[in-house]
Structure 1
């Protein structure tokens, strides 16, 4: 029974995270229903110079730190879902997924595509891989690791949900 609850919470947490990341990367300016509307926000910019905004004096801490924080769980989930994956393969998956997000933003015209985002997303994913590695070395057993991460992610999911509900109610 406990294992079933942990598995259900893990899946719910992962789905919540995927929806949250999609909302924050692809749909922060446009809802999925508005993507093909002519009356929507349209932005198709591409920056291939890493940290160009910083060099121009337009440093936005939330862009940098937000992307890092947003991808920490991704590094953890990759290692939870794909068992015994090499760190280099996990990093490649993070880079590829981040690249797909950035290209999607450009193709759909729903945000700024930026190499800096790929770099900061990858840094966040690597931090997540490191956190997973530490947790695994502490708990050793995969079931304990999954239980610990699931409990932590469920608590974070509840806190984020309450904050989001508060934001929507306030606006």
Structure 2
């Protein structure tokens, strides 16, 4: 029982770190300070009508990253909100994505886009499916939660290290040319 409480506490801590990182990445675009107003206030309410264009090509990577960044939310929702229906969990993914998009609009950071909300919600759903698959593989919720915590802890340490190196411009792959 004591071991199970430690597992639950670790899951909660990792979930909080994930949420902080999620909002920092989406809302603040890796900045520590609020960026200056850049007149980027834009809303797109037509799904997939205005994909991100880079060098004249559609940046599918941006759309894929919007899915990928929400996969952990689906996994955490599976663990932390077991009693919730799938519909309620989908609403959580939608709501967190909507909050991010509204904050982007209010803070005048980036564009608010319904496509992002759709992709983020899809990412949460994929994470929930992954969680259910892990649960079936282990056939024991405590063991599956411990496995997920090991993966999440490793991923969290890696993510924090990469974000830190990016922030101090020491990751040679992404180093900016001066």
- 1:115-165 superposed Cα distances (whole Å, 9 cap, x missing partner): 010011011011001001111112222211211111110011111122223
Counterparts of 1:6-155 in structure 2, within 5 Å, are 6-28=7-29, 31=32, 33-34=33-34, 39-54=36-51, 58-155=57-154
Number of equivalent positions = 167
| Structure 2: segments with no counterpart, 5+ residues | none
TM-score, L = length of structure 1: 0.85
Residue 34 (structure 1) shift:
2.6
Change (3 A) 1:34 1:120: same
- Quote the Cα distance in structure 1 between the aligned partners of 2:30 and 2:150: 31
* Unaligned residue ranges in structure 1 (runs of 5+): none
The more displaced of 39-48 and 113-122 is 39-48
Structure having the larger proportion of residues in helix: 1
Contact 1:29-1:110 within 8 A present in 2 as well: no
In structure 1, how many angstroms separate the alpha carbons of the residues matched to 2:20 and 2:163?
13
Runs of 4+ with deviation above 3 angstroms: 1-5, 39-42, 54-58
RMSD: 2.3
RCO higher in 1 or 2 (8 Å CA, sep ≥ 6)?
A: 1
Question: TM-score by structure 2 length?
Answer: 0.82
Aligned partners of 1:55, 1:70: CA distance in 2, in Å? 17
